[in-house]
Amino acid sequence: MIAGQGFPRRELAAGLYVVATPIGNLGDITIRALETLSSADLVACEDTRVTAKLLQRYAIDTRMIAYHEHNADKAGAKILEQLQAGARIALVSDAGT
């Protein structure tokens, strides 16, 4: 898959998916990670600006929510609510996984 061409969606079961992201070189991401990010209903990330660069590179338009130590109580409650409703949520870290 070439950057910027989009990525096919696949069927995901409801749940939380911890997605490994590359450290430094965005080209080091795995195909499975890209499939999961493009197929999820929501991406929970530390900094939406950082994750947006990764998603934009691969033309993935999944909605994001910031989830970090400063908003964990509020954002965590929203994430749990969506999981209980059957959402498919990908969790990524800015510094890789």
Q: Which CATH architecture has domain 29-85?
A: 3-Layer(aba) Sandwich (3.40)
23-78 residue pLDDT tens: 888 989 999 999 999 999 999 999 999 999 999 999 999 999 999 999 999 999 99
pTM greater than the 0.95 cutoff? no
DSSP for 45-80, please give it: ES-HHHHHHHHHHTT----EEE-STTTHHHHHHHHH
Q: How many residues are present in the chain?
A: 97
pLDDT in the model for residue 9: 74
pLDDT in the model for residue 49: 95
